[in-house]
């Protein structure tokens, strides 16, 4: 950057570069991160699992700026990766003052001349990805985030109104019975009962799935913890070498199996509920193509056919093993696995497992960003600490989402379906 030709750059960009270099000269850690951010390498890695090193360089550039929650950096920086549109050849990464974004191609040409991976070619239409250390505007200065924030505030308001205006007869005063039901759908008191509700009818459900849901949700959080932490390690090779050694590390490296459990559970419950509902009202026509087409059409929103193909082609052995476990637990209530997986203590966590699965990436990324960058891998205890914090936050956020969105809208679906049947 010191030797960069500034003749063709704007005065604003030239001044920002000099200011950034002067600022970093007195801050060794930020200066090293700034230097680390300049990189070059194989462009094809942007399309596979090895893109974490490019994310590492982007994080290095952002951290070099020294932005803080309540103190803006005097040198906002941006990381830009530029490559061929077809992701072929060499890609280049540069860390520049944000005010120089319009000059990035000129700065890139200077960086290519000193890069060890210079391929000597000129890209007429390069593909670019730029990430800045600071947004141009705060979220409260933009109308879209404000609109989303107001919409999200609607749910706690409905919960408060619903929970504080119940009476003994209908639950609400001076409100028609139909709207009483709609408001009651958001009642925290009533929905907490549903959170831990267990059916008392024998064979009405597959109880061991309760525990399997919790296991799959916790496993999914663990898997993404070990995956998303990789861009934050400066010694990633040591981490990868440790992961491929040891029998129990297979629970981390075979990470997609956690998702497969959800697929098997979805397909199992879909089939179980369908055949149970048709068992007493319709003669089973196993050889009828019409019957099976009706089955798949009836549950098209659950992507059952997709789940079936996914499990059969990619993870058939594991899926069959989980399916056999579920079957054995269902037909043998005294089975030790069934007793453990069917414990009532799993029910509240099972009820929020879907919400945990949806939101867990947010607290995972949040805790990593709060930690010092870059991280140095020494052992798994550091990851275990992050996992426990991330799991706790995921459970808390999952509980909020379940109580404010999932259960209330399930109640609304039941209310409107009954109203539709009544009108018919």
Q: What is the pLDDT of residues 284-314, one digit of tens each?
A: 555 555 555 555 554 444 444 555 555 455 5
The dihedral built from the CA positions of residue 229, 235, 241 and 247, taken in this order, carries a sign that is: negative
What are the percentages of helix, strand and coil residues in the chain, rounded to 5? 65, 5, 25
Do 154 and 280 reside in the same domain of the chain? no
What is the per-residue pLDDT for 2?
59
Percent of the chain beyond pLDDT 90?
13
Residue 203 domain-assigned?
Answer: no
Do 300 and 418 reside in the same domain of the chain? yes
Do 108 and 157 reside in the same domain of the chain? no
Percent of the chain beyond pLDDT 70?
76
What is the per-residue pLDDT for 43?
77
- Check whether the bond before 374 is cis (ω within 30° of 0): yes
- 152-173 pLDDT per residue, tens: 888 888 888 887 765 444 444 5
At residue 197's C-alpha, the angle toward residues 194 and 203, to 5°, is 135
- 106-134 pLDDT per residue, tens: 887 777 765 544 444 444 446 678 888 88
Do 128 and 147 reside in the same domain of the chain? no
Residue 184 domain-assigned?
Answer: no
Are 91 and 82 in contact by the 8 Å Cβ rule? The answer is: yes
Do 88 and 154 reside in the same domain of the chain? no
Do 97 and 166 reside in the same domain of the chain? no
Residue 262 has a CB neighbour count (10 Å cut-off) of 19
Residue 201 domain-assigned?
Answer: no
Are 212 and 268 in contact by the 8 Å Cβ rule? The answer is: no
Are 65 and 134 in contact by the 8 Å Cβ rule? The answer is: yes
Residue 362 domain-assigned?
Answer: yes
Do 270 and 376 reside in the same domain of the chain? yes
Do 263 and 235 reside in the same domain of the chain? yes
Do 397 and 321 reside in the same domain of the chain? yes
Q: Given 149, 174, 199, which residue is the final one in a domain?
A: 174
Q: Scan for tokens 């490019």, then name that residue.
A: 54
Range of the structural domain that residue 408 is part of: 208-423
Beta-carbon contacts of 338 under 8 Å, excluding residues fewer than 6 positions away, are 207, 208, 328, 329, 330, 332
At residue 199's C-alpha, the angle toward residues 193 and 205, to 5°, is 130
Residue 188 domain-assigned?
Answer: no
Residue 268 domain-assigned?
Answer: yes
Residue 405 domain-assigned?
Answer: yes
Provide the total of helices (H) and of strands (E) in the chain, helices listed first.
20, 4
Query: How many distinct structural domains can be found in the chain?
Result: 3
- 5-14 pLDDT per residue, tens: 555 778 888 8
Collect contacts of 176-182 with beta carbons under 8 A, ≥24 apart: 178/415, 178/419, 181/415, 182/412, 182/415
Both tokens assigned to 422: 């009544």
Do 244 and 364 reside in the same domain of the chain? yes
Kindly list the strands in the beta sheet with 77-83, ordered across the sheet, starting from the edge strand earlier in the chain. 39-42, 90-97, 77-83, 127-132
Bridge partners (DSSP) listed for residue 130: 80
Do 259 and 376 reside in the same domain of the chain? yes
Phi, psi of 129 (to 5 degrees): -130, 120
Do 126 and 27 reside in the same domain of the chain? yes
Residue 36 domain-assigned?
Answer: yes
What is the per-residue pLDDT for 312?
55
């Amino acid at each position: 950057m010191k030797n960069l030709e500034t003749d063709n750059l704007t005065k604003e960009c030239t001044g920002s570069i000099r200011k950034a270099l002067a600022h970093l000269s007195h801050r060794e850690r930020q200066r090293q991160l700034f230097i680390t951010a300049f990189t070059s390498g194989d462009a094809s890695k942007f399309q596979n699992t090895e893109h974490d090193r490019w994310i590492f360089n982007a994080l290095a550039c952002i951290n070099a700026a020294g932005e803080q929650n309540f103190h803006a950096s005097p040198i906002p920086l941006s990381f830009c990766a530029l490559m061929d549109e077809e992701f072929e050849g060499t890609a280049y990464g540069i860390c520049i003052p944000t005010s120089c974004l319009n000059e990035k191609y000129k700065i890139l040409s200077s960086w290519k001349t000193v890069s060890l991976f210079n391929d000597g070619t000129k890209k007429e239409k390069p593909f670019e990805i730029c990430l800045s250390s600071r947004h141009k505007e705060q979220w409260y200065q933009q109308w879209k985030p404000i609109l989303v924030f107001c919409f999200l505030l609607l749910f706690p308001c409905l919960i408060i109104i619903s929970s504080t205006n119940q009476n003994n007869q209908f639950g609400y005063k001076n409100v028609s019975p139909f709207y009483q039901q709609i408001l009651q759908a958001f009642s925290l008191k009533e929905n907490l009962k549903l959170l831990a509700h267990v059916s008392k009818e024998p064979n009405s459900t597959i109880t061991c799935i309760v525990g399997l849901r919790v296991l799959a949700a916790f496993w999914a959080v663990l898997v993404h913890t070990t995956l998303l932490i990789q861009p934050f390690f400066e010694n990633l090779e040591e981490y990868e070498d440790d992961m491929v050694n040891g029998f129990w590390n297979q629970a981390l490296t075979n990470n997609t199996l956690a998702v497969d459990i959800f697929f098997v559970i979805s397909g199992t419950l879909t089939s179980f509920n369908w055949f149970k509902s048709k068992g007493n009202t319709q003669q089973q026509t196993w050889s009828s193509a019409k019957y099976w087409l009706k089955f798949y059409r009836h549950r098209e929103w659950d992507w059952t056919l997709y789940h079936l193909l996914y499990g059969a082609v990619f993870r058939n052995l594991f899926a069959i093993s989980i399916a056999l476990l579920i079957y054995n637990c269902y037909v043998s209530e005294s089975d030790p696995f069934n007793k453990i997986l069917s414990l009532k203590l799993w029910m509240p966590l099972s009820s929020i497992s879907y919400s945990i699965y949806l939101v867990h990436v947010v607290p995972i990324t949040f805790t990593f960003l709060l930690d010092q960058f870059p991280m140095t891998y020494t052992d798994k205890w550091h990851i275990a600490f992050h996992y426990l914090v991330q799991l706790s936050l995921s459970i808390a956020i999952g509980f909020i989402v379940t109580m404010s969105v999932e259960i209330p809208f399930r109640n609304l679906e039941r209310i409107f379906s009954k109203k539709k049947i009544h009108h018919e």
